[in-house]
């Protein structure tokens, strides 16, 4: 393990979270101005066998995937292969059905398309057939006027953006991540893990009740909202509504977060089918250093031109989320600070993942960070574990 003395506060927070029983196994990595200043890991990767967490232990990091997928699409845009402002149907003609001809690629990236859920349950047999799932979405009508509101497209984001990528290149998001991001940079990061990675991946332990598969916003969030992090009584009202939606199987939240339903497979997100599938919304398997390394390269201009990234992280939508019932904020596929992406700095961007995962970049402060674990929490912020670590980083600057 490594921790620059300037960031000793981070090591203290990391150790305390284990001492308080909040972690089973976890890792946290931080780059500052391209230098690896924090690289911590501890605990158990597999609670069944006692296998220890190692420096390069990978784990399924849920919606941290979305920022990686956005980067793939923006690379295509830089090459003139995709016009983000153009209709999706220009690249995917079947998508124009059911009144969707005006939906743009930007609408997909900013969760404004009005397609946050799949109307019919996706059978397990299709879990690894992304074009077939995308075809289902192409046949659906939006549930709100595209561009008029935003709501978290928890899983459909990936099938929609992934199909645009496939139509342009003939390749999956996972193929392009391997060939143009993780491979050249030597990152422990896969969107669709090979068998040898699956064998050494950490085994995720759920929170003990149903946690959503992407951003972790169930009932505990209502109790979190009563504290300082949620802004007092007004926040509690919002989170009470969110908790009620989490309890209702037919709410937009649950319909968006639970189809395709990983729970249909033995072990859920630990099942090799899920780890292999490479869903572009929730499919990344990565180590903390791999995730932090992705953001290091991103803010260094190695993956996108600085002007492309600057435009991509400009907030396009901010405010009430039609699916999550709390405020969210998005650029072109990247989260900006809001209740769904807790960050101490307004210049931070990135993406959170179910139960507490976090990938973060901040070009203004030269920071890139990745937090991964296998003890999922059932709260919006993952019991604030990632936030407390990130807060300690900023306090150390």
Query: Catalytic positions, please?
Result: 63
Distance of CA 2 to CAs 11, 38, 289, Å? 9, 6, 12
Q: Residue 195 CB: number of other CB atoms within 10 A?
A: 9
Q: Is 156 helix (H, G, I), strand (E, B) or coil?
A: helix
Distance of CA 63 to the CA centre of its chain: 2
Q: Give the distance between the most distant pair of CA atoms in the chain.
A: 58
Tokens of 355: 């139960």
Distance of CA 96 to the CA centre of its chain: 27
E strand intervals along 283-377: 284-286, 317-320, 327-330, 349-353, 357-362, 367-373
Closest CA relative to residue 130, chosen from 96, 168, 174: 174
CA pair distance 374, 30, nearest whole angstrom: 19
Give me the DSSP letters along 219-250: THHHHHHTSGGGTSHHHHHHHHHHHHHHH-TT
Alpha helices by DSSP H, listed for the chain, are 8-19, 65-78, 105-109, 130-138, 156-169, 173-177, 183-185, 195-200, 220-225, 233-247, 252-257, 272-277, 288-299, 306-312, 385-396
73 and 171 Cβ atoms separated by less than 8 Å: no
């Amino acid at each position: 393990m490594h921790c620059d003395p300037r960031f000793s506060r981070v090591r203290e927070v990391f150790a305390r979270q284990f001492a308080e029983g909040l972690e089973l196994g976890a890792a946290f990595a931080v780059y500052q101005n391209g230098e690896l200043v924090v690289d911590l890991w501890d605990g158990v990767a597999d609670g069944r066998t006692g296998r220890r967490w190692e420096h390069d232990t990978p784990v399924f990091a849920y919606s941290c995937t979305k920022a990686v997928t956005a980067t793939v699409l923006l690379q295509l845009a830089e090459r003139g292969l995709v016009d983000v402002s153009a209709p999706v149907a220009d690249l995917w003609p079947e998508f124009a059905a059911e009144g969707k001809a005006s939906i743009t690629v930007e609408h997909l990236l900013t969760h404004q398309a009005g397609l946050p859920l799949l109307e019919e349950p996706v059978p397990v047999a299709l879990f690894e057939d992304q074009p077939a799932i995308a075809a289902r979405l192409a046949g659906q009508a939006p549930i709100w006027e595209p561009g008029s509101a935003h709501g978290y497209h928890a899983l459909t984001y990936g099938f929609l953006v992934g199909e645009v990528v496939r139509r342009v290149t003939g390749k999956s998001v996972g193929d392009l991540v391997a060939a143009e991001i993780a491979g050249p940079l030597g990152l422990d990061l896969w969107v669709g893990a090979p068998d040898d990675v699956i064998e050494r991946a950490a085994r995720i332990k759920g929170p003990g009740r149903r946690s959503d598969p992407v951003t972790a916003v169930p009932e505990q969030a209502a109790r979190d909202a009563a504290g300082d992090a949620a802004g007092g009584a007004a926040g509690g009202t919002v989170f009470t509504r969110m908790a009620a939606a989490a309890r209702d199987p037919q709410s937009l939240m649950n319909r968006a977060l639970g189809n395709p339903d990983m729970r249909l497979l033995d072990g859920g997100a630990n099942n090799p089918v899920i780890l292999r599938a490479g869903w572009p919304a929730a499919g990344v398997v990565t180590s903390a250093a791999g995730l932090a390394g992705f953001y290091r390269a991103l803010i260094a201009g190695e993956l996108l031109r600085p002007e492309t990234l600057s435009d991509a992280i400009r907030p396009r939508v901010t405010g009430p989320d039609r699916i999550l019932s709390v405020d969210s904020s998005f650029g072109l596929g990247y989260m900006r600070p809001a209740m769904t992406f807790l960050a101490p700095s307004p210049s931070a961007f990135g993406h959170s993942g179910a139960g507490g995962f976090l990938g973060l970049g901040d070009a203004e402060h030269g920071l890139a960070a990745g937090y991964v674990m296998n003890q999922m929490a059932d709260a919006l912020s993952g019991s604030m574990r990632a936030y407390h670590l990130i807060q300690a980083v900023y306090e150390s600057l």
